Structure 1
Amino acid sequence: MVSRRPAVENLQNFLRISEAAEYLGVSPNTLRNWENAKKIAAHRHPVNDYRLFKQEELDALLSQLQEPRKPSKKAK
């Protein structure tokens, strides 16, 4: 099983949940919901167990959110 706990020396590439939420323009609760829905992976701080988010994963999610949605087909 792969650990979701980054080494202490590698924490500079991670944002805390409040920082990540501000970066994406959403609330921290939205990020928690997205984590529960498996839309984004949260890593855990090795000392205090806080949620941490990788900058590159946030960038990927942000570009995915900015893509235009396909129109849904509605029943007539």
Structure 2
Amino acid sequence: MSNHEDTTVSPMLTTSEVAHMLNVHINTVRRWSNQMVLKSYRIGARGDRRFRKEDVEQFLEREGKTKSLKET
């Protein structure tokens, strides 16, 4: 018997999927990833980027608050 916690891994999003979600160009998502503004994970031998949906949602919350502060 093992004492492993129930850890569910959520599906990872591609750079293209995140760009579509955020309505920005794919290169913008890559730049934000390089600048560590948007958290990403590198997978595979090629180092493809993958994003957790939770991280993208947190990014949206942060950016939404920042934009609303700048508008006032």
Q: Normalization by structure 1: what TM-score?
A: 0.66
What percent identity do the matched residue pairs reach? 27
Matched residue pairs, number? 62
Give, in whole Å, the separation in 1 of the partners of 2:49 and 2:62: 21
1:44: Cα distance to partner? 1.6
Bigger relative contact order, structure 1 or 2 (CA pairs below 8 A, ≥6 apart) = 1
| Structure 1, unpaired ranges of 5+ | 1-9
| Structure 2, unpaired ranges of 5+ | 1-8
Match of 1:70 in 2: 70
Superposed CA RMSD in Å reads 2.1
**Stretches of 4+ aligned residues off by more than 2 angstroms:** 45-49, 69-72
23 and 71 in structure 1: CA distance in 2 versus 1, 3 angstrom threshold: closer
Q: Which amino acid is the alignment partner of residue 13 of structure 2?
A: L
1:47: Cα distance to partner? 5.2
1:69: Cα distance to partner? 2.5
